[in-house]
Amino acid sequence: MILNNLTKGIALAALTTTIGTFSTTAQAFDLYFDVYTGEKTGAYYNKICPAIKKAASLNGVELNCKTSAGSLDNLDKVLDKPSNFGLSQFDQFALKYSNQSNQTVYTPIHDDIGTECLFMVTNNKLISNFGDVVASAPYLNFILPPEKSGHAGTFKYLQSIDPDGLGKATKVSYASSTEDAITQTLTSKDNVTLFVQTADPKSALFSLVNKNKGHFVPVISKEVLAQVVKGTKVYRAQETAVSNPKWHKSGTKVITSCTPIMLFTGKSLKIQDPAQKTAHEKAIAKLTAIPAEKLRPQQGWFSKLWNNSKALSAKGVEGLVDTAEKAKKVTSPYLSKAKTATEPYVEKAKDVTKDVIDAAKPTYDAAKEKTKKAIDAAKPALDVAKEKTKEAIKAAKPTYEAIKEKTQEIGKKAYDQASDLVKGTEKEVGKEMEAPKAAE
């Protein structure tokens, strides 16, 4: 019995030591990695990250899906802590990666999980392709989603790769939300907006565009499609569905550029702790080895999105690029000529406006002087009236005081009389009540 107890005690002590050692090791190796995604209601957090987490867990890597402000925020979080993982639009990674100091910071793991597409919207029917937008960029109003959003980041990236085209846009403002940006844009033909999302025909944003009679402009140009970062094309031309078929008509499809959804982390070399660094390297190797199809949601929402989007042939892409280039060449000279032709009239209008103001100024000054003279002429009469009013108030004061005193006197007499009458009544009542008692 003693031996059995001793054996149990030794086993329990060994188990306790083992658990303690595992706990310490788990903490030291940082076996549970955080993956930063996007808003709580977004596809990155709700759909894509859980699928990656499931596949990673089956391969010995534990991931924890965390919310964030979006792609740029995720890139910053990995910059702050290299052991973090994140999801991002690939164009946002490219925008960050363009900074030389960031090129030794990030480690791409997968850029084949899925895509998000660029949707440019206006209600100006004369703007039919991206070449029209680029040529008109200095004159259009670009109303974008919030400045820190991935949508706005994509617009900045497009400007950075085409400084002589979209880069010349100066009338850029930011709405409070993507919905607000679309709504504001569709109030005028001079407005354009841009947003980025998965090709989901049921999207509320697509419904908003269609409801307000906006139309989509293909974001396709040689500058856009030429971008490559770390061997991966930043944009690929795809045909995407933006509305579902109805019984009386087919669904609407749009050809535009799409950017890969990217899983990335920091450089293991940036991690100071040796054990954590080793764990991070192993996690990268295991995640890289997982086939892309295993990282995608296998059923329902995401698998349907793949059917709503397909890559274009090289011939189809070439045709769209040619259309955009021709539009730029045709539209730009007309706009330049229109500007040159109207400039003299604008200047003339400025001169005429100045002449009108100059001609009206003497009349305005004369009216101003007459008004001043009228006020000055009326001032003595006003001062006399003011003085007379003071005198009248002063003369009436004794009468007012006398009336006040007389009123108080009359009031006091009335009160005294009423008081005497009440007292007399009380005495009479008392006598009548005493009389019957006396008779008894």
Helix (H) or strand (E) holding 130: helix 130-136
DSSP β-bridge partners for residue 106: 266
391-400 confidence digits (pLDDT tens) = 877 887 787 7
Give the number of other Cβ atoms within 10 Å of residue 316's Cβ: 14
Q: Is 258 helix (H, G, I), strand (E, B) or coil?
A: strand
Burial of 184 (0-12, 13-18, 19+ CB in 10 A): middle
Nearest to 264 by CA among 76, 98, 45: 76
Residue 227 lies in a domain: yes
Instruction: State the pLDDT at residue 297.
Output: 85
Pair 54, 296: CB distance under 8 Å = no
d(CA 219, CA 132): 11
Pairing of strands 62-66, 32-36: parallel
129-169 confidence digits (pLDDT tens) = 999 999 999 999 999 998 888 899 999 999 999 999 999 99
d(CA 301, CA 159): 33
Half-sphere exposure (Cβ direction) of 323: Cα atoms closer than 13 Å: 16
Pair 239, 255: CB distance under 8 Å = yes
Pick left, alpha or beta for residue 33 (phi over 0 → left; psi -120 to 50 → alpha; otherwise beta).
beta
Pairing of strands 85-89, 32-36: parallel
Residue 319 lies in a domain: no
Cα–Cα separations (whole angstroms), residue 78 to 87, 200, 389, 426: 10, 29, 81, 98
CATH number of residue 272's parent domain: 3.40.190.10
Residue 203 lies in a domain: yes
Residues above pLDDT 70, as percent of the chain: 72
Give the number of other Cβ atoms within 10 Å of residue 59's Cβ: 13
Residue 406 lies in a domain: no
Query: Interhelix angle for 204-211 vs 178-185, to 10°?
Result: 10
The residue whose two tokens read 């740029």 is 72
Six-digit token string for 425? 């009544």
Pairing of strands 115-122, 141-144: unpaired
Which amino acid is present at 271? I
DSSP β-bridge partners for residue 173: 143
Helix (H) or strand (E) holding 303: helix 301-307
Six-digit token string for 374? 């009228």
Helix (H) or strand (E) holding 287: helix 274-289
Nearest to 319 by CA among 157, 159, 155, 129: 129
Residue 157 lies in a domain: yes
Residue 217 lies in a domain: yes
Pair 150, 74: CB distance under 8 Å = no
Instruction: State the pLDDT at residue 200.
Output: 80
The list of the chain residues with pLDDT below 50 reads 1-30, 247-248, 301, 306, 334
Helix (H) or strand (E) holding 60: none
Residue 186 lies in a domain: yes
Tally the domains of the chain.
1
Residue 24 lies in a domain: no
Domain membership of residue 190 as a residue range: 92-312
